[in-house]
Chains A and B, each alone.
Chain A
Amino acid sequence: MKITMKKLALALAVAALPFAASAHKGWLEPSKTVLSVGQWITVDAATSTDPFLKDHNAMRLDNLVITAPDGSKVQPENASTGKLRSSFDVQLNQAGTYKVAIVNSGVSARWEEKGQRKSYPPRGQAFTAEGFAKEVPANAEKLAVTESLTQLVTFATAGKPNDTALKPTGVGLELVPLQSITDLYVGEEAKFQFLLDGKPAADVEVEIIADGVRYRSSVDALELKTDKDGKFAIDWKTPGLYWMSASVSDEKATTAPAKQRRTAYTAVVEVLSP
């Protein structure tokens, strides 16, 4: 019985590895976002039922990209991955705003064979055209090939903010802050704009969750929608970390044989008391 339980637990753990479980939310938790030059930040990264709760799985750091204020890439220090969260340190040696991002992109296929759901590639493996040709039957039923492009980002500024690291790439869904991303204060309305492939993304639903879910009786997610210019505004009520997320599904896949595309952008920002 004991062994069975162990096996079961192991099977569950494997099944729940990252990239899985869309019900879980990915998050980054920076120790601070407003610092002087030369300071260190430490960042936790995980997926969990609600942002900042360490109750599910560590985030893989393979696709961690840290961009310095001059646009160059910085390597994390002391990166480690535990059961419930990964963590790493970054020294802010340049004046300006750093972008810390987990960038995932890939293609996946789902189909049915004799009533059974199939998928390719297997978890943790990369999509290849050869693998796809080999694994997916030419006449697969209900075949859906989806390209996914997701970014999970947070920011920290040493000294005076700048926006070199924040420049949109023009690919997928991206957030543009209309004030400094590290100048967010209670009592000051903050404005943002979502871009889809570099153009204003209208009518996109944005979910916003404040830190401290564990200590209130409900998640209290704020749900907003971008206007015709892709913009939305938030009037912060309490200081703390906020998780903001949006996604768009369309037919604009760029990698064959994918037809559908899902692009998501999640940002963690810090709101201070004035």
Chain B
Amino acid sequence: MRPSPLLKRTPLSLALCTLFAGTAQAADFKIGIELPRLDVAEYHRPYVAAWIEREDRTVAANLAVWYQLKRANAPAAAQMPAAGGAAPAGAAEGGTKWLPDMRQWWRRTGREMTMPADGISSATRAAGVHELNFSSGKAPFPDLAPGQYKLMVEAAREEGGRELLEIPFTWPAAKAAQLKAQGSRELGALSLDIKP
């Protein structure tokens, strides 16, 4: 993720950080998702979803969905497929066709969402480590009730595989902590930094 110019450590923002450090109203929730560089003949960027699950597996928050947004070069005619199915498969959906491939996410929450989802969905991302910063009470991160949760991250890649990682955590955190999980195929390292 490219840092926004507003978040650059100017003296002013440093001062603000110092100012708020003592009060810390909003707990921080920082996720690091590594998409491994894969040496394959035909590489497509993976679809990735991140969400928070309660102990009963219901979804407490949808944090991110990266998928293939509407193709810029999709012909207009293809957006309304004829009944005969003449339109090329996939052209009309702007990539939503493959969202069910993130099976757990689709089952738990994706199939009830409308895409694009404001503040949650965005384009697919390149290999590398992507940081996502959230603070409690600020959309899309809700004011979580105290309890046990799991951070869930699922990736699915065209002509590739699927992988689901989870990091259990307690909310609110008693102290700052870094939690980790390691993927083996479609995901690399997953980290979660929680600050009370």
What is A's interface to B at a CB cutoff of 8 Å?
34-36, 38-40, 77-78, 89, 91, 157, 159-160, 183, 272-274
Contact = CB atoms under 8 A, between A and B. Distances in A.
Contact of A274 (B83, B97, B104, B111): B104
B111 to A, nearest CB: 5
A38 B85 CA distance: 11
Contacts of A159: 111-112
A36 B103 contact: no
Interface in B79-119: 81, 83-85, 89, 92-93, 96-97, 99-100, 103-104, 106-107, 111-112
A89 B85 contact: yes
B100 A77 contact: no
A272 B111 CA distance: 16
A274 B92 CA distance: 28
Given A39-B97, A160-B111, 7 more contacts: A34-B106, A35-B100, A36-B97, A38-B92, A77-B83, A78-B84, A274-B103
B131 to A, nearest CB: 28
A172 B104 CA distance: 36
A183 B104 CA distance: 10
Nearest to A182: B107
Main secondary structure of the interface of B (DSSP, over half): helix
A159 B111 CA distance: 4
Contacts of A36: 93, 96-97, 99-100, 111
A183 B107 contact: yes
Nearest to A183: B107
Contact of B84 (A34, A77, A272): A77
Contacts of A157: 111
Contacts of A160: 111-112
- Which one of A36, A78, A183 has the greatest number of beta carbons of chain B within 10 Å? A36
Interface of B: 81, 83-85, 89, 92-93, 96-97, 99-100, 103-104, 106-107, 111-112
26 contacts: A34-B100, A34-B103, A34-B106, A35-B97, A35-B100, A36-B97, A36-B99, A38-B93, A38-B96, A38-B97, A39-B97, A40-B85, A77-B85, A78-B85, A91-B83, A91-B85, A157-B111, A159-B111, A159-B112, A160-B111, A160-B112, A183-B107, A272-B103, A273-B103, A274-B103, A274-B104
Nearest to B106: A34
A36 B85 CA distance: 16
A157 B110 CA distance: 13
Contacts of B97: 35-36, 38-39
A35 B89 CA distance: 13
A2 to B, nearest CB: 42
Contacts of A272: 103
A274 B103 CA distance: 7
A46 to B, nearest CB: 22
A160 B110 CA distance: 9
B175 to A, nearest CB: 33
Nearest to A32: B100
Contacts of B111: 36, 157, 159-160
Contacts of A274: 103-104
B89 A40 contact: yes
B80 to A, nearest CB: 10
A34 B92 CA distance: 18
Nearest to A274: B104
B95 to A, nearest CB: 10
B3 to A, nearest CB: 33
B77 to A, nearest CB: 15
Nearest to B101: A34
